[in-house]
Amino acid sequence: MFIEVKDAVKKYGKGDALVYALDHAELGIEKGEICVILGPSGSGKSTLLNILGGIDSPDSGSILIDGKEITGLKPRQLTEYRRSDVGFVFQFYNLIPDLTVRENIEVVSDISASALDADDIMKALGIEKYRARFPRELSGGQQQRTAIGRALIKNPKILLCDELTGALDSKSSSAVLKYIEKVNQEFGTTIVIITHNEDIRLMADRIIRIKDGKVVVNELNSNKIPSEKIGI
Amino acid sequence: MKKLNNRYKRGFIHNFSFYAGIFFLTCITALMYLLFSTSVICEDKYVHDLFRINNVEDGQFTTLKEMTDDDLSAIEEEYGVKLERQTYCSFEEDDYTVRVFGFTEKVNIPEVTKGSAPEEDDEICLSQSFAEANDIAVGGEIELGGRSYTVTGFAERPDYLYMIENQSDSFHRASEFGIAFVTDGEMESFGDRQFYYSITYGDNGQDDVRKYIYDEFHTLSYMSSDTNHRISTPKATIIQYSLITGGILPALLLLVIAIIAVVLGRKVRSEKKHIGTLSALGYRKSEISLHYVWYALIPGILGEAAGIILTYIFVDMAAGEFFFKLEKLPVKYTISPVNVAIVLVVPVAAYAVTSLLTAGRILKMNVTDMLSGRSTRGRESRLLVESGVNFRTKFRLRSLLNNYGRTIVVILGIVVSGLIMAMALMMDDSCKNYEKNVIDDIGSFNYEYILSYPMNDDEQEGEKLLSNTFEVTGSENSIMLTGVYGEGSMINLETTDGGTADLDGKYYISSMASAIFGVGKGDVLTVYDPCSLEEYDITVSGVINNRAQSMMISSAETVADLIGIDEGYYNIVMSEEELDIDSSVTAEVIEKKAMKEMIQNVISGMKALIWLMVIFGTVICAISVYLMVNMLIEENAVTISMLKVLGYHSREIDRITTNIYHILVPFGIVLALGGGWLITWMYFDFSTASFQAQIPVYLSAKGFVIFIAAIVLSYAVSLVLLSRKVKNINMSDSLKSARE
């Protein structure tokens, strides 16, 4: 498995307020898969994504990425991991407002040893003509594509998407998912999407369901259909 | 609202250092303002009351023909003046000189400030600063002229509040000179008594009575109270300090308050989402505004209260220190209720208004915009958009330009805090530089003997000069006209334009006098003889580089002709070595070394005040900078956490976000230095006449290093202290808050 989560536990609070965000979670994702993680609010989806991305750590258990254990890494090593291996896309884009589309993408290429060409990325995502615009001058879909470009420019091993269509209308959502699919096909990037939207599971190679911090379903999707055919 | 207000305690604990900074800065600001203003108001009142009630003289004079008691009474009746003989006797002991007076009844009436007046002939009252400097307490003993006296109390004369032995002295030396008072009987027993007359004028003016006295009794010397440094210096000091209290200090304090208010306003702005949430929950605008106003008011009110309490505790101990130049007076320091009200109202009003305005501006937004945290600011700067410059440079520049309010606040914070420190260091260094370098402007002589009357002894050693003091029309200051025989080898004749003064029939003015009277080359200065009141128009041919004496220089022949004396006469002798001149003909001996010691005295007197200013400045600097950096980090929290998520290391993040403000530090430093220089220059320029010294503003390399180090250290320590805050910015929390 390219991504392996073994017996991961993450707790918040104490005593009566103790909550298991991850309760001995187990899962595995193969390289190059699009994996959609579904679950209700508070089920532990975001915690799992944060732990996979190295911005949070489990209290116990093991997280293996491409055979490398990341749970015991020091902060500096975790930074290096995020720098080279992981790309993030967030629901509210989290672009830097003082930078243009191109510059937001360059924020990552600037620290990446194997950065792709920014123009190629922008062309692939259809945002080349907005290159000199600031985030507030863009629609939500255009901003999210910029965020995807920023995540992809370093050619990451894993692309982690947190409710990436959550703030978008259906037309923009559809367009963004199309680009995600394209990225997966062109770059072979392993993509993990967490979402509430049941329809997105249809484009996944693998579907994982989480409830109360436990992985209740981890299955391959034998009926995968292209995103453009999903009615989002 | 009650439940909502539970946030205050948690908010203050969560942002403890921020609110502690506001508390301390407000406290220090209130303390500084109240201490200084209380000191100035109370000293001013005491001194002016003493001048009025104890009838300080308007002028003093000596005459060739002695005036009898009947003469004095007749003049008083005829001209509506008060006129009294002032008899004194000077005792030069090994370590000090004491000038002993009797108890006058009409003019310059002594004020017993502690203990009681002497009743027996072996009893004496001393001036307090002199007594304390020599460890003499009430009930103690002092020996004068071989006779022992019991000290019954401390007393002051209104014309000796600035206790200088000679009018040419720049600064007082409490341990070396003082005055004393004995009974009339004891005064009569002194053999070597001297006297002069003191006068206060009535409604009829002074010209007629002065002319009458000159005509009838032939006035030999006359000195008005305006030119008498013992009287004019207290007045000038109060005016200087009133200027600082009424202008510079409030301006500085308002700037500090403005900075705090802006920082608090930005803090409220960062609460946009919470304000949106409260709006969505149905809270009224007034309730929300009030809730946020208290975040500003609580540390503000506590800071003010602490400042006021500290003022009450320290006022008696500290307020008198500002007037270290003057005699110690039993001033009762009462803190003005108006100033307490100002301190109570102004800071919190500024904080409250800023918080209200900020909250009000946010509340005008659409609730969904508030909840999404969408920015309301204008367009981003398109600076370098299409250029190939690295994104980091673009980001830094745009952060500074797009957040120009924040940029200005950071610069202002550094300027205000640096200004106080710069002023203190410049004052210290300027005095030291003056003592070390500027006093030598006066010439190469080490001893200056001022004779009691003109002489023409050809055998006299040393360089002879002829001098006369004139009053200047339209000015409260006098000027000494000095005539030089021949080339004048010991007196400095170098002009400010680099040449040498050609004295033949011409008049040159010293640069200090030029500053005091506002005249330069080609200008006409109208002077008059203080005895005869005869006026002369003198054209200034040039300015001589002398910042230590207020004087005009010409040839001795020209001066002799002007004052109507035969050529060859002199009344000043200068020498590099000490001369053996009969003390009976010497009115005063000025040593260059003593002039330097006087400057050292003023430096040591000012030392506590200067270092108090440096410490206050450093504390204000450190807290202001800490608040600035704290604000920068909080406002950049989302960007910082995003950069962390993207894989940036802490140092890289610092370089992009917080370190961009490094560039503002030099700007702040330059502006603080410039402002400090200007205020110090204004202070010394205004004080030229009262200090009898034109002190050029100077900052030594050491002072410069201390200044830079204090600001840079404050900034660096703030960054280090707050770097933990950068490290502790939780990526998932920040991203969550960006999402909420």
User: Do B437 and B465 share a domain, yes or no?
Assistant: no
Mean pLDDT calculated for residue range B245-255? 75
Mean pLDDT calculated for residue range B672-682? 91
Asked whether the predicted pLDDT for residue B739 surpasses 50, the reply is no
Q: Is B584 domain-assigned?
A: no
The pLDDT score that the predictor gives to residue A133 is 92
User: Which residue is closest to A91 within chain B, CA to CA?
Assistant: B739
Determine phi and psi for B134, rounding to 5 degrees.
-105, 15
- Give percent of chain B above pLDDT 70: 94
Asked whether the predicted pLDDT for residue B3 surpasses 70, the reply is no
Q: Is B722 domain-assigned?
A: yes
B645 → closest Cβ in A88, A106, A111: A88
The pLDDT score that the predictor gives to residue B697 is 93
Joined together, the tokens standing for residue B65 give: 């023909």
User: Do B104 and B213 share a domain, yes or no?
Assistant: yes
The H-or-E segment that residue A26 falls in is strand A19-29
User: Which residue is closest to A99 within chain B, CA to CA?
Assistant: B395
User: Which residue is closest to A82 within chain B, CA to CA?
Assistant: B647
B386 → closest Cβ in A76, A108, A132: A132
Q: B335, B351, B379: which is the final residue of a domain? A: B379
pLDDT tens-place string over residues B442-459: 888 899 898 888 888 877
User: Do B43 and B106 share a domain, yes or no?
Assistant: no
Instruction: Select from B645, B655, B731 the residue whose CB has the most chain A CBs within 10 Å, as the one to mutate to test that interface.
Output: B645
Q: Which of B122-136, B350-364, B458-472 has the highest mean pLDDT?
A: B122-136
User: Which residue is closest to B388 within chain A, CA to CA?
Assistant: A103
Smallest CA–CA distance, residue A230 to chain B, in Å, is 26
Instruction: Select from A22, A56, A85, A94 the residue whose CB has the most chain B CBs within 10 Å, as the one to mutate to test that interface.
Output: A94
Distances (CA, A) of B154 to B318, B677, B690: 21, 40, 26
User: Do B48 and B73 share a domain, yes or no?
Assistant: no
User: Average pLDDT over chain A, rounded to whole?
Assistant: 90
B732 → closest Cβ in A56, A83, A84: A56
User: Which residue is closest to A83 within chain B, CA to CA?
Assistant: B647
When pLDDT is cut at 50, 70 and 90, the band that residue B357 belongs to is: confident
Asked whether the predicted pLDDT for residue B106 surpasses 90, the reply is yes
User: Do B319 and B199 share a domain, yes or no?
Assistant: no
When pLDDT is cut at 50, 70 and 90, the band that residue B139 belongs to is: very high
The H-or-E segment that residue B261 falls in is helix B249-269
Distances (CA, A) of B224 to B49, B59, B63, B641: 20, 4, 15, 73
Instruction: Select from A48, A98, A143 the residue whose CB has the most chain B CBs within 10 Å, as the one to mutate to test that interface.
Output: A98
CB contacts of A97 in chain B (<8 Å) are 375, 380
Domains in chain B, number? 4
Smallest CA–CA distance, residue A106 to chain B, in Å, is 7
A76 touches chain B (CB under 8 A): yes
A12 touches chain B (CB under 8 A): no
If you search the block for the tokens 């019991």, which residue do you land on? B150
The pLDDT score that the predictor gives to residue B740 is 41
* Measured distance CA(B366)–CA(B368) in Å, rounded: 5
The pLDDT score that the predictor gives to residue B4 is 64
A213 touches chain B (CB under 8 A): no
User: Do B466 and B521 share a domain, yes or no?
Assistant: yes
Helix or strand or coil: residue A175? helix
Helix or strand or coil: residue B257? helix
Residue with the larger pLDDT of the pair B483 and B398: B483
pLDDT tens-place string over residues B506-524: 999 999 999 889 999 999 9
A181 touches chain B (CB under 8 A): no
Give the other-Cβ count within 10 Å of A111's Cβ: 18
User: Which residue is closest to B375 within chain A, CA to CA?
Assistant: A136
User: Do B646 and B624 share a domain, yes or no?
Assistant: yes
pLDDT tens-place string over residues B260-311: 787 778 778 778 878 887 887 778 888 888 888 888 888 899 999 999 999 9
Q: What is the CA radius of gyration of chain A?
A: 17
Q: Which amino acid is at B555?
A: S
A136 touches chain B (CB under 8 A): yes
B380 → closest Cβ in A53, A97, A106: A97
For residues B373-407, b (16+ Cβ closer than 10 Å) or e, as one string?
A: beeeeeebbeebbeeeeebbebbbbbbbebbeebb
CB contacts of B380 in chain A (<8 Å) are 97-98, 134, 136
Q: Is B586 domain-assigned?
A: no
Indicate the domain borders of chain A. Answer: 30-57+74-229
Distances (CA, A) of A47 to A39, A54, A191, B427, B643: 12, 11, 16, 61, 19
Residue with the larger pLDDT of the pair B154 and A226: B154
The pLDDT score that the predictor gives to residue B38 is 93
**Which parts of B52-176 are beta strand (E)?**
59-63, 82-92, 97-101, 111-115, 123-126, 141-144, 147-156
Identify residues of B whose CB sits under 8 angstroms from chain A CBs.
Answer: 375, 379-381, 385-386, 390-392, 394-395, 398-399, 402, 638-639, 642-649, 652, 731-732, 735-736, 738-739
Distances (CA, A) of B147 to B121, B140, B366: 11, 14, 91
Kindly report which listed range (B251-255, B486-490, B606-610, B615-619) carries the lowest average pLDDT score: B606-610
Q: What is the CA radius of gyration of chain B?
A: 33
Distances (CA, A) of B412 to A181, B673, B705: 52, 13, 21
Q: What angle do CA A88, B655, B705 make, to 5 degrees?
A: 165
User: Which residue is closest to A159 within chain B, CA to CA?
Assistant: B646
Asked whether the predicted pLDDT for residue B111 surpasses 90, the reply is yes
The pLDDT score that the predictor gives to residue A194 is 92
Residue with the larger pLDDT of the pair B260 and B138: B138
Q: Which of A107-116, B74-83, B548-557 has the highest mean pLDDT?
A: B74-83
Contact B739 A111 (CB under 8 A): no
User: Do B312 and B331 share a domain, yes or no?
Assistant: yes
* Measured distance CA(B21)–CA(B627) in Å, rounded: 7
Mean pLDDT calculated for residue range A49-72? 92
Asked whether the predicted pLDDT for residue B6 surpasses 90, the reply is no
Contact B386 A56 (CB under 8 A): no
Distances (CA, A) of A173 to A101, A163, A199, A227, B399: 19, 11, 11, 10, 32
pLDDT tens-place string over residues A146-199: 999 999 898 899 999 998 888 788 888 888 888 889 889 988 899 999 998 899
The pLDDT score that the predictor gives to residue A232 is 61
Asked whether the predicted pLDDT for residue B490 surpasses 50, the reply is yes
Contact A110 B392 (CB under 8 A): yes
Chains A and B form CB pairs within 8 A to the count of 80
If you search the block for the tokens 């005295």, which residue do you land on? B601
List CB contacts of B535: < 8 A, sequence separation 6 or more. B473, B526, B527, B528
User: Do B215 and B296 share a domain, yes or no?
Assistant: no
Q: Domain span at residue B183? A: 59-224
Asked whether the predicted pLDDT for residue B207 surpasses 90, the reply is no
Q: Which of B236-240, B426-430, B595-599, B621-625 has the highest mean pLDDT?
A: B426-430
Smallest CA–CA distance, residue B730 to chain A, in Å, is 9
Smallest CA–CA distance, residue A29 to chain B, in Å, is 22
Q: Which of B418, B427, B423 is nearest to B676 (CA)?
A: B423
> Do B96 and B86 meet the contact criterion of CB atoms below 8 Å apart?
no
Smallest CA–CA distance, residue A2 to chain B, in Å, is 21
User: Which residue is closest to B376 within chain A, CA to CA?
Assistant: A136
- Stated length of chain A: 232
Q: Which amino acid is at B334?
A: T
Helix or strand or coil: residue B1? coil
| B285-318 and B6-14 helices, crossing angle to 10° | 60
The pLDDT score that the predictor gives to residue A87 is 92
Q: Is B44 domain-assigned?
A: yes
For residues B489-516, b (16+ Cβ closer than 10 Å) or e, as one string?
A: ebbbbebeeeeebebeebbbbbbbbbbb
Mean pLDDT calculated for residue range B361-374? 75
User: Do B634 and B729 share a domain, yes or no?
Assistant: yes
Contact A110 B399 (CB under 8 A): no
When pLDDT is cut at 50, 70 and 90, the band that residue B370 belongs to is: confident
Q: Is B112 domain-assigned?
A: yes
> Do B592 and B442 meet the contact criterion of CB atoms below 8 Å apart?
yes
Mean pLDDT calculated for residue range B409-426? 83
Contact B731 A50 (CB under 8 A): yes
When pLDDT is cut at 50, 70 and 90, the band that residue B170 belongs to is: low
A110 touches chain B (CB under 8 A): yes
Contact A83 B739 (CB under 8 A): no
Q: Is B164 domain-assigned?
A: yes
| B637-645 and B731-739 helices, crossing angle to 10° | 120
Superfamily covering domain A30-57+74-229 = P-loop containing nucleotide triphosphate hydrolases (3.40.50.300)
* Measured distance CA(A100)–CA(A130) in Å, rounded: 8
The pLDDT score that the predictor gives to residue A14 is 85
Kindly report the pTM of this predicted structure.
0.70
